[in-house]
Amino acid sequence: MASLATIKPRRAAKTLLVTSFTLILLLLFLSPFAFMVFTSLKTPEQISVIGAPIWPAAVATFEYNGKELDMYTVPMNKCEGSEDSNDTNGLALVKKGTRASTFVDPDDLARGEFVCQVSWRALDRPWQFSPTFSNYTEVWNSINFPRLLWNTFFYAVATTVGVLISCTLVAYGFSRFDFPGRDFLFVVLIATIFLPAFVTVIPTYTFFQRIDWVGTWLPLIVPTFFANAFDVFLLRQYFMTIPREMDEAAMIDGASRFRVLTSILLPQSYPVLLAVTVFHIVYAWNDFFGPLIYLSTNRAAWPVSVALNTFNGIYGQKPQLIQAGALMTLLLPLLLFIFAQRFFVQGIVITGVDK
Amino acid sequence: MFQELQRGLPKLPTIRSYRAMTPLKRREMREGLLYISPWLVGFLIFTLLPILASLVFSFMDLRITDGITSAPKFVGLANYEQMLKDPQIWSLQSGTRGSLWITLFFGMISLPVGLLLPLAIALLMNSRHLKGQMAFRSAFYMPFIIPFVAAVFLWGGMLNPETGWINRALMAMGVPRASVPNWANDINWVYPTYVIMGIWGIGNAMLIFLAGLQGVPTDLYDAAKVDGANGWQSFWKVTFPMISPVVFYNLVLGVVFLFQYFLVPLVVNQGTGRPGGATMFFNLYLYKTFFTFQNMSYGATMAWLLFVLILITTVFLFWSAKYWVYYAGEKRS
């Protein structure tokens, strides 16, 4: 039987163990973010050098007689005048040579220039931390990033408005009106989640092409005004937690059904309305398939997701630009998530857990 | 969400039942239908009509480029005959495996990871020994909201055979340079690559598992302990039955998602099917049939095959749920 005195330290040790294990797991899980940030701050020179450090760095240089000299790590016993030394020093390369090169020691300038019997190509180079921010400006300017951001923003806002209006009305209909066939229709609504996209995309795309909507935003925006299963479900579940007695009291006072929605239900539903809003903004911001099929012919209307996909082709050999573009693309959803995480979590829990 | 579907189809009203309604009830019905009309109209235009149009297309010979005036060419079952013989769908040979088998094979690898990993992390989150549960929960969910293309690029960089951190770490652990994986470019490593890229999508399932776990009454665990159950037994006898509805939910969503898997191969391997045709998933083949080769009718035929396959699978899953999914109290929501 463990005494009280031993239980507490044991619990503390377990807490420490579980928490630090989770922390390590989380760091591994999120390590691609560090990769992205580090890579986006690198110079093309660093990318092309095998064995360069993983953090953004530049080869150390030293200014000598008005010239920028590259630094190398040199074993001092190869140099004239210090054959007995076991040190390796960082030296600045003055004159390149295949078998012997001339160096100067930045820490010992008094020694002047001296020759070492080394091939400069085989030497390691000392790196120093040196982030480069020009990758961001290059991506920003070369693919007209402000335009892409504006397109994406417009798409997100327009479709969020459509989702909020239509899904609120439909959820109100499903949660507050009793009529035969309602539950059947609701089952049909939920079942649309299982529908493979292509079975509807092929005729819909053909239809939109016939009416000349392909290449415009309309095929992406208009359907959002006709509600969707996920958001209707979310809103309906929330409306059903609000007591019906409040509606009835308002209706006795002469309020219309629409007035009940706007004055009784909506003011109490701001958490779920916010959840739907943030979900949909993030969904639209990240949407790739819709803009890919409907906008690929119209470059001027591209959102960031579609433009980013072309980076592989344009910047295949320039990972620093790909990562800078990825960072600029994910910044807004990330910030939105950080400020509204409570609503994300609640919304998901409502859809997945039957209460 | 799916509990609604598990009670079977509710009855539709008949004309007789409508006639028997009081005027007040009829008015409520009219108003209710008016409120749900945005969805009703949208369902007809953007769902039901297209499904039927796909079916009609599958009996025709159509290209996207066909003019609106060209006479419709009905070809009977020709598209279905072509589909049933199409080696790009059905071939079992390992070098040229058909796209349907690729999809199923990848699903077999990906689905267990997509369920067990979020469950494991949710169990960890639910541990009473974990400090800062809220912060961890948000952090593990967070990659889910990263734009899909950006996430693929981040992982593509991590898994780059030369410069990626994963191979650097492998080499640092002593794996020789010659034998580190070539990830997305190696026929044997491309599926693990996709599975790793999919790990960032576990957030949703993890949150739902966690909510399920938090809903398990603690007195059940106490009772199991009194009866002498060990950790393994109490998981299978208490935890699993209690969270079976959320397991079912995540399972169904995972299956439907994997049947339609194709965006990752479209971005990572540019939709070419490289390496060696291993990434020509069914939906990718379908996408190319329609958008690249502009073959509407064959695309529609394939889409209907997929529709039927998903339907059969989900009906089977819902049927099986009767035997292993346990709804506490069975209360109407």
Residue A184: Cβ within 10 Å count: 14
What percentage of chain A carries pLDDT values higher than 90?
Answer: 55
- Beta partners for A93? A103
Cβ contact, residue pair B54, A200, below 8 Å: yes
- CB-nearest partner of A353 from B4, B57, B211: B211
Cβ contact, residue pair B42, A31, below 8 Å: no
Closest CA–CA distance from residue B72 to any residue of chain A (Å): 15
Taking 80 as the threshold, does the pLDDT of residue A50 lie above it? no
Tokens encoding A90: 């960082």
Residues 6+ apart with CB under 8 A from B280: B88, B99, B102, B265, B273
CA gap B295, B292 in Å, rounded: 8
CA gap B169, B181 in Å, rounded: 12
With H, G, I as helix, E, B as strand and everything else as coil, classify residue B222. Answer: helix
Cβ contact, residue pair A173, B34, below 8 Å: yes
Query: Is residue B24 within 8 angstroms of chain A, CB to CB?
Result: no
Token match 């003019």: residue?
Answer: B67
Contacts A285 to B, Cβ<8 Å: 147
Helix (H) or strand (E) holding A48: helix A44-48
Residues 6+ apart with CB under 8 A from A216: A294, A298, A301
Query: Is residue B325 within 8 angstroms of chain A, CB to CB?
Result: no
Closest CA–CA distance from residue A4 to any residue of chain B (Å): 18
ipTM of this complex prediction, to 2 decimal places: 0.90
Taking 80 as the threshold, does the pLDDT of residue B12 lie above it? no
pLDDT, tens digit, for every residue of B69-104? Answer: 677 788 989 999 999 999 999 988 877 889 999 999
Query: Is residue B10 within 8 angstroms of chain A, CB to CB?
Result: yes
In terms of CA atoms, which chain A residue is nearest residue B262?
A289
> What Å distances lie between residue A245 and A234, A241, A251, A266, B38, CA to CA?
21, 12, 10, 15, 27
The model carries a pTM of 0.89
> What Å distances lie between residue B75 and A43, B57, B58, CA to CA?
59, 10, 9
Closest CA–CA distance from residue A246 to any residue of chain B (Å): 18
The mean per-residue pLDDT over the stretch B195-206 comes to: 93
In terms of CA atoms, which chain A residue is nearest residue B331?
A355
Tokens encoding A253: 């006072």
Predicted pLDDT of residue A4: 58
Cβ contact, residue pair A209, B64, below 8 Å: yes
Q: Cα B218 vs. chain centroid, distance in angstroms?
A: 32
The mean per-residue pLDDT over the stretch B180-207 comes to: 93
Query: In sequence order, which ranges of A99-192 are alpha helices (DSSP H)?
Result: 134-142, 145-176, 182-191
* DSSP 8-state assignment for residue B265: H
Q: Which of residues 260-299 of B touch A (CB under 8 A)?
A: 260, 263, 267, 270, 283, 286-287, 290-291, 296, 299
Cβ contact, residue pair B41, A312, below 8 Å: no
Predicted pLDDT of residue B328: 67
Q: Is-cis flag, bond preceding B265, omega within 30?
A: no
- CB-nearest partner of B46 from A188, A200, A345: A200
Taking 50 as the threshold, does the pLDDT of residue B32 lie above it? yes
The mean per-residue pLDDT over the stretch B310-320 comes to: 94
Contacts B158 to A, Cβ<8 Å: 31-32, 35
Taking 50 as the threshold, does the pLDDT of residue B331 lie above it? no
Over chain A, what is the mean pLDDT? 89
Burial status of residue B52 (CB atoms within 10 A of its CB: 0-12, 13-18, 19 or more): exposed
Q: What are phi and psi of A167, to 5 degrees?
A: -70, -35
Contacts B291 to A, Cβ<8 Å: 293
Enumerate helices (H) and strands (E) in chain B, giving the number of each: 18, 0
Q: For residue B66, which amino acid is it?
A: D
Q: Which of residues 186-245 of B touch A (CB under 8 A)?
A: 199-200, 204, 207-208, 211-212, 215, 245
Taking 50 as the threshold, does the pLDDT of residue A88 lie above it? yes
Which class in CATH covers the domain with range B81-324? mainly alpha
Predicted pLDDT of residue A3: 57
Q: For residue A122, which amino acid is it?
A: A
Orientation angle between helical segments A319-352 and A4-40, nearest 10 degrees: 140
Burial status of residue B173 (CB atoms within 10 A of its CB: 0-12, 13-18, 19 or more): exposed
Cβ contact, residue pair B68, A286, below 8 Å: no
pLDDT, tens digit, for every residue of B230-264? Answer: 889 999 999 999 999 999 999 999 999 999 999 99
Cβ contact, residue pair B147, A330, below 8 Å: yes
Residues 6+ apart with CB under 8 A from B201: B114, B143, B144
What percentage of chain B carries pLDDT values higher than 70?
Answer: 97
In terms of CA atoms, which chain A residue is nearest residue B131?
A19
Contacts A307 to B, Cβ<8 Å: none
- CB-nearest partner of A348 from B54, B208, B310: B208
Q: How many CA atoms within 13 Å lie on the side-chain side of A186?
A: 32
Predicted pLDDT of residue B333: 38
Cβ contact, residue pair B13, A353, below 8 Å: no
Long-range contacts at A57-62 (CB < 8 A, ≥ 24 apart): A57/A127, A57/A128, A57/A129, A57/A130, A58/A127, A58/A128, A58/A130, A58/A132, A59/A125, A59/A126, A59/A127, A60/A90, A60/A125, A60/A126, A60/A127, A60/A128, A61/A92, A62/A92, A62/A104, A62/A106
Residues 6+ apart with CB under 8 A from A192: A229, B43, B47
Q: Cα B29 vs. chain centroid, distance in angstroms?
A: 35
> Please, what is the Cα angle at A71 between A66 and A72, to 5 degrees?
150
CA gap B184, B198 in Å, rounded: 13
Cβ contact, residue pair A286, B36, below 8 Å: no
Helix (H) or strand (E) holding A73: strand A67-75
The mean per-residue pLDDT over the stretch A244-257 comes to: 92
Q: How many CA atoms within 13 Å lie on the side-chain side of A194?
A: 25
pLDDT, tens digit, for every residue of A210-220? Answer: 899 999 999 99
Using alpha carbons only, how large is chain A's radius of gyration in Å?
Answer: 31
Residues 6+ apart with CB under 8 A from A301: A151, A215, A216, A217, A295
- CB-nearest partner of A353 from B125, B140, B215: B215
- A136-352, superfamily in CATH? MetI-like (1.10.3720.10)
CA gap B164, B184 in Å, rounded: 12
Predicted pLDDT of residue B63: 83
CA gap B205, B117 in Å, rounded: 9
CA gap A163, B260 in Å, rounded: 24
Predicted pLDDT of residue A6: 64
* Residue-range domain boundaries for chain B: 1-57, 81-324
Contacts B37 to A, Cβ<8 Å: 173
Query: Is residue B169 within 8 angstroms of chain A, CB to CB?
Result: no
Contacts B28 to A, Cβ<8 Å: 177-179
Predicted pLDDT of residue B149: 92
